């Protein structure tokens, strides 16, 4: 699937069901980040989420909405790469793509 197709799939599946019982918000962010080549460090007690590519870039999100901020960034990254390289093929996982979708009633 190309980057443009992956982005279209994610946007087309926004508003789906709630998170499955076997996955929490942290695991969702980890799956979404891994899908786009990022690593994650999460400090729930400090309301801190760090999404990074080693030796390249680091993005930090703080406060009560740190998870939403991280998801917003990852969806923006998907949109950016899809716009810059729409026809580039890549491997996609079902879990990672679903993690990037907005859940029912979720707003960023």
30-64 pLDDT per residue, tens: 999 999 999 999 998 889 999 999 999 999 999 99
Q: With 0-12 CB in 10 A as exposed, 13-18 as middle and 19+ as buried, what is 87? A: exposed
pTM over 0.75: yes
Q: What is the pLDDT of residue 21?
A: 65
Which residues make Cβ contacts (< 8 Å) with residue 90, sequence separation at least 6?
1, 2, 3, 6
Three-class HEC string of 24-71: CHHHHHHHHHHHCCCEEEEEHHHCEEEEEECCCEEEEEECCCHHHHHH
| 104 neighbors 18 (Cβ within 8 angstroms) | yes
Residue 2 tokens read as 């190309």
Cα torsion angle, 84, 85, 90, 92, sign: positive
Phi and psi dihedrals of 75, rounded to 5? -65, -35
Q: What is the pLDDT of residue 76?
A: 98
Domains in the chain: boundaries: 3-100
**pLDDT at position 16 over 90:** no
Q: What is the mean pLDDT of residues 13-38?
A: 87
**pLDDT at position 17 over 80:** no
Q: Which of 103, 40, 104 is nearest to 74 (CA)?
A: 40
Q: What percent of the chain has pLDDT over 70?
A: 95
């Amino acid at each position: 699937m190309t980057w443009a197709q992956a982005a279209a799939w994610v946007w087309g599946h926004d508003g789906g069901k709630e998170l499955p019982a076997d996955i929490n918000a942290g695991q969702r962010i980890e799956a979404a980040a891994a899908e786009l080549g990022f690593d994650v460090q999460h400090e729930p007690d400090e309301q801190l989420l760090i999404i990074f590519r080693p030796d390249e870039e680091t993005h930090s999100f703080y406060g009560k909405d740190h998870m939403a901020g991280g998801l917003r960034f990852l969806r923006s990254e998907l949109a950016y790469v899809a716009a810059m390289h729409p026809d580039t093929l890549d491997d996609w996982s079902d879990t990672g793509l679903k993690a990037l979708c907005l859940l029912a009633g979720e707003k960023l």
